[in-house]
Amino acid sequence: MSPSRRTALGAILSSALLLAVGAPAHAQDKQITLGFAQVGAESAWRTANTISVKSAAKDAGINLKFSDAQQKQENQIRAIRSYIAQKVDVIAFSPVVESGWEPVLNEAKAAKIPVILTDRNIDVQDKSLYVTMIGSDFLEEGRRAGHWLEDHYKNDPGPINIAELQGTVGSAPANDRHAGLMEVIKNDPKFKIIASQSGDFTLAGGKQVMEAFAKTYGKQINVVYAHNDDMALGAIQAMEEAGIQPGKDVSVVSFDATKGGFEAMIAGKINVDVECSPLLGPQLMAAVKDVVAGKQLPKRIVTNETVFPMSVAAQILPQRKY
């Protein structure tokens, strides 16, 4: 190498070295700590959601502090307060219920910790209390179920009596899946909700409520409208024990489209499953990184979902991820 080329190469190398050593430590170089306050472990959906959040955090190199609120708002509030005290970079949570979040979210705001909502929405006037909400449109899910019922019973003069197994009282999916259905059927007098009670999104809750419904209403029930697969599976057990054939004597409408829901469709016991995806981890981690980098995010990021009637279940099941 000629002396002049050697000098030029040396200059390039030393300036590269200077850049690497002397560069200021940017905020985005530091590992991000995310405090995540999960609802609980009430359903197969929730288990899949927790796995998705944990594995996406690992893949993204984010330090995750995870807590399980066991479906209690006070536990979630306590977890959020502890994340504030620990000065995490971002807080994310899936709110158990819609109301009552202003005080703790104002505390996060005062501490300048951005909050991301995931899965479930909250009911607050001040939308600056959170950066974005990532998750399903539960109202649209309810409408989709309602349209399926309209179509399924289009040649039936009725009455079509619906027994509703609601999710957790005050939660966004319970409120919106009910409201979405009502929006579709309210002008059609042949559809009537004759019973409605919460099974808290659990299999045991769904079974217990359905046992009571079967005792009180027996063969009057035409449709079981279960706000998630776990409750639908519990209701199926209760119906079978009461001598009612789910999927035949009674149409079963469910939400989530978990593998358990698909297996029940293949067995002819759930008639339709409205999809609700728990695989929110990668989107959440991307949003966390964007927030830390100071990027603007849309206020609402809606998950892409569909509806699975039982006729497609066997073909679709092998592709299901949760």
Kindly state the smallest distance separating residue 175's Cβ from ligand AHR, in Å: 11
Kindly state the smallest distance separating residue 174's Cβ from ligand AHR, in Å: 9
Measured from the CB atom, the residue of 89 and 119 that comes closer to ligand AHR is 119
Q: Are 171 and 96 in contact (CB under 8 A)?
A: yes
Measured from the CB atom, the residue of 175 and 271 that comes closer to ligand AHR is 175
Measured from the CB atom, the residue of 89 and 98 that comes closer to ligand AHR is 98
Measured from the CB atom, the residue of 36 and 153 that comes closer to ligand AHR is 36
Q: Are 184 and 155 in contact (CB under 8 A)?
A: no
Measured from the CB atom, the residue of 77 and 172 that comes closer to ligand AHR is 172
Q: How far is CA 154 from the centre of its chain?
A: 31
Residues 175, 177, 179: CA angle, nearest 5 degrees: 65
Kindly state the smallest distance separating residue 45's Cβ from ligand AHR, in Å: 3
Measured from the CB atom, the residue of 173 and 247 that comes closer to ligand AHR is 173
For 281, the 3-state DSSP assignment is: helix
Kindly state the smallest distance separating residue 138's Cβ from ligand AHR, in Å: 8
Supply φ then ψ for residue 44, to 5 degrees: -65, -35
Kindly state the smallest distance separating residue 228's Cβ from ligand AHR, in Å: 3
The rounded distance, in Å, linking the Cα atoms of 175 and 195 is 16
Kindly state the smallest distance separating residue 101's Cβ from ligand AHR, in Å: 16
305 burial type by CB count under 10 A (0-12 exposed, 13-18 middle, 19+ buried): middle
Q: Are 111 and 84 in contact (CB under 8 A)?
A: yes
For 125, the 3-state DSSP assignment is: coil
Helix or strand holding residue 225 (H, E) = strand 223-226
Measured from the CB atom, the residue of 79 and 233 that comes closer to ligand AHR is 233
Strand arrangement of the beta sheet that strand 251-256 belongs to: 191-198, 160-166, 223-226, 251-256, 272-275, 307-309
Measured from the CB atom, the residue of 89 and 275 that comes closer to ligand AHR is 275
* Beta-bridge partner residues of 63: 33
Strand arrangement of the beta sheet that strand 90-93 belongs to: 63-68, 33-38, 90-93, 115-118, 132-135, 300-302
Kindly state the smallest distance separating residue 261's Cβ from ligand AHR, in Å: 10
Binding site for ligand AHR (CB under 6 A): 42-43, 45-46, 119-120, 173, 201, 228, 255-256, 276
Kindly state the smallest distance separating residue 21's Cβ from ligand AHR, in Å: 48
Q: Are 197 and 163 in contact (CB under 8 A)?
A: no
